[in-house]
Amino acid sequence: MFFFRRLSVFDRPFVQRFDWCLFGLMFLLGCMGLVVLYSAVTAGSDAPRKLLVVRQVLWYGAGGVLLVFFFCVSTSCWSNGPM
């Protein structure tokens, strides 16, 4: 498709410009949130509601897929307006 760049997403300039520290902090914050959520749903319960944790992991995954998609879409696609 014409929106996607011809180069790979993981080309050298992309990897060099990417803010790995921010990505690591976001990942760490998400993991900490999952640990807190798991602790909250299993505390003092005979039948923990682990489905909440699974749904949260799925939402994190969906957000990651959207993140990769928008990294792949060229910015010229958005600046040209409707076709």
Within a domain: 12: no
Residue 15 lies in a domain: no
Beta carbons of 32 and 23 less than 8 angstroms apart: no
pLDDT at 59: 95
2 lies in some domain: no
Examine residue 40 and state whether it is found in any structural domain, yes or no: no
Report if residue 64 sits inside a domain.
yes
Does residue 57 form part of some domain? Answer: yes
Q: Which residues of the chain have pLDDT under 50?
A: 1-4, 7
Among 80, 82, 73, 78, smallest CA distance to 4 is for 73
CA of residue 76 relative to chain centroid, distance: 23
Predicted TM-score of the model (pTM): 0.65
End-to-end Cα, the chain, rounded Å: 14
Q: Which domain holds residue 57?
A: 49-74
DSSP helix, strand, coil percent of the chain (3-state; round to 5): 65, 0, 30
- pLDDT at position 80 is 65
Domain-embedded: residue 68: yes
* In a domain? residue 53: yes
Q: How many domains in the chain?
A: 1
